[in-house]
Amino acid sequence: MSDDFWSERDTTPDAIEAAMRSMLRERHAENERLAPARVLNLVVIVDREWKGEIANRLERAGRYHGSRTILCAIEEGRTTLDAVATVSYDNPEDRLGVMWEKIEIDLGCEHLPGLQTIIDPIIVSGLPTVLWAPHRHDDAVRTLLGLIDVILLDSDDFPSAAEAFERVFAVRDHAYVIDLAWLRTTPWRERLAASFDLPARLRALEHACELDIRHRDGSSASALLLAGWMASRLGWDPEPLSLHTGDRREGTLANGDHEVRIVMRESHQEAPGLAGVTISCLPDLSLSLERGWGGLEATERFGDGGVKQWKILGASRGEGGILGDGIRLALLREPTYWPALNAARELSEA
Amino acid sequence: MPAGLAGLENPLTEGLERLPVHPTSLVIFGATGDLAHRKLLPALYNLAHEGQLPERFEMVGVGRRDSEHEQFRDTLTESVRRYSRRRPDEQVLCGLIEDSRYVQGSFEDDLVYTELARTLAEFDEQAGRTLNRVFYLSTAPEFFPLIAAKLGAAGLNCIDGADTRIVIEKPFGYDLESARRLNAQVLEVFEESQVYRIDHYLGKETVQNLMALRFANALFEPVWNRNYIDHVQIVAAEDIGIGSRAGYYDGAGALRDLVQNHMLQLLALLAMEPPTAFNAEKLRDEKLKVLEAIVPPTPAEVPQMAVRGQYGPGVVGGERVPGYLQENGVPPDSRTETYAALRLHVSNWRWAGVPFYLRTGKRLARKLTEIAVILKPVPHVAFQGHGSVGIQANQIVFTLQPDEGVAVSIGAKLPGTRMQIRPVNMEFRYGTSFLSESPEAYERLILDAMLGDATLFTRNDEVEALWGVVDPILEAWRDDRNSPMPQYESGGAGPAEADALMDDGRIWRRL
The answer to whether residues A124 and A311 touch, using CB atoms and an 8 Å cutoff, is no
Helix (H) / strand (E) element for A277: namely: strand A274-281
Report d(CA A146, CA A167) in Å as an integer: 17
Q: What is the rounded CA–CA span in Å between residue A272 and residue B380?
A: 66
CB B502 within 8 A of CB B357: yes
ipTM here? 0.91
Rounded CA-CA distance B271/B354 in Å is: 11
- In tens, the pLDDT along A119-158 reads 999 999 889 999 999 998 999 999 999 999 999 999 999 9
Q: Answer whether B471's CB lies under 8 Å from B176's CB.
A: yes
- Cα B209 to Cα A31, B357, B394, B398, B430: the distances in Å are 27, 21, 20, 9, 10
From A65, A311, A331, residue closest to B95, measured CB to CB:
A311
Q: Are B404 and B208 in contact (CB under 8 A)?
A: no
- Smallest Cβ–Cβ distance between B12 and the set A37, A98, A193 belongs to A193
Distance from CA of B119 to the nearest CA of A (A): 18
Q: Is the pLDDT score of B6 beyond 70? A: no
Which DSSP helix (H) or strand (E) runs through A127?
none
- Picking from B125, B112, B72, the residue whose alpha carbon sits closest to that of residue B96 is B72
pTM: 0.90
**What per-residue confidence (pLDDT) applies to B330?**
94
Shortest distance between the Cα of A80 and any Cα of chain B, in A, equals 34
| Mean pLDDT taken over chain B | 91
Write the pLDDT tens digit of every residue in B127-149. 989 999 999 999 999 999 999 99
Residues of A in Cβ contact (< 8 Å) with B437:
63
Q: Is B22 within 8 Å of A197 when comparing Cβ atoms?
A: yes
Q: Give tens-digit pLDDT for B316-339.
A: 877 899 999 999 999 999 999 999
pLDDT surpassing 60 at residue B484: yes
Helices (H), chain A: 13-30, 51-59, 115-119, 138-144, 161-171, 180-183, 186-195, 199-205, 220-234, 318-328, 337-348
* Cβ–Cβ contact B55 with A under 8 A: yes
The radius of gyration of chain A from alpha carbons, rounded to an integer in Å, stands at: 23
- Confidence at residue B160, expressed as pLDDT on a 0 to 100 scale: 93
Chain B interface, best mutation among A296, A309, A313, by max B CB count within 10 A: A313
Q: How far is A170 from chain B (nearest CA, A)?
A: 24
Kindly identify which residue of chain B lies nearest to residue A333, measuring between CA atoms: B15
* pLDDT given at position B430: 75
CB B334 within 8 A of CB B315: no
Which of B17, B49, B55 is most worth mutating to test chain A (most A CB atoms within 10 A of its CB)? B55
Dihedral sign computed on CA atoms, order B29, B30, B35, B39? positive
Cβ contacts (< 8 Å) between A203 and chain B: which residues? 8
B164-178 tens-digit pLDDT: 999 999 889 999 999
Q: H or E element: which one contains A172?
A: none
Please give the pLDDT value at position B21. 94
Q: Which of B51, B429, B432 is nearest residue A313 as measured by Cβ atoms?
A: B51
Digitized pLDDT (tens) for each residue of chain A, 350 residues in all: 789 999 999 999 999 999 999 999 999 888 888 888 888 999 999 999 999 999 998 988 877 778 899 999 999 999 999 999 999 998 777 777 889 999 999 999 999 999 999 999 999 988 999 999 999 899 999 999 999 999 999 999 999 999 999 999 999 999 999 999 999 999 999 999 999 998 888 888 989 999 999 999 999 999 999 999 999 999 999 999 998 887 899 999 998 889 999 999 999 999 999 999 999 998 889 999 999 999 999 999 998 899 999 999 999 989 999 999 999 999 888 899 999 999 999 999 76
Q: Do A313 and B96 touch (CB under 8 A)?
A: yes
- Between CA B320 and CA B238 the distance in angstroms is 16
Q: What is the pLDDT of residue B436?
A: 65
Q: Tell me what pLDDT residue B266 has.
A: 96
B-chain CB neighbours of A256 within 8 Å are: 1
Touching check for B269 and chain A: CB below 8 Å? no
User: Are A85 and A5 in contact, with CB atoms under 8 Å apart?
Assistant: yes
Taking contacts as CB-CB distances below 8 angstroms, the residues of chain A near B90 are 294
Q: Please, is B244 exposed, middle or buried when counting C-beta atoms within 10 Å of its C-beta (0-12, 13-18, 19+)?
A: exposed
Q: Work out the pLDDT band at B385, boundaries 50, 70, 90.
A: low
A315: nearest CA partner in chain B: B49
pLDDT tens track for B444-483: 999 999 999 999 999 999 999 999 999 999 999 999 988 9
* Region of residue B237 (phi > 0: left; psi between -120 and 50: alpha; otherwise: beta): beta
Give Cβ neighbours of residue B125 (< 8 Å, ≥ 6 apart): none
Instruction: Give the per-residue pLDDT at A256.
Output: 85
Letter for the amino acid at B121? A
> For the segment B77-112, what is each residue's pLDDT rounded down to a tens digit?
999 999 998 899 999 999 999 989 999 999 999 999
Inter-chain CB proximity A194 and B54 less than 8 Å = yes
**What is the rounded distance in angstroms from the CA atom of residue A296 to the CA atom of residue A220?**
20
User: What is the rounded CA–CA span in Å between residue B287 and residue B86?
Assistant: 35
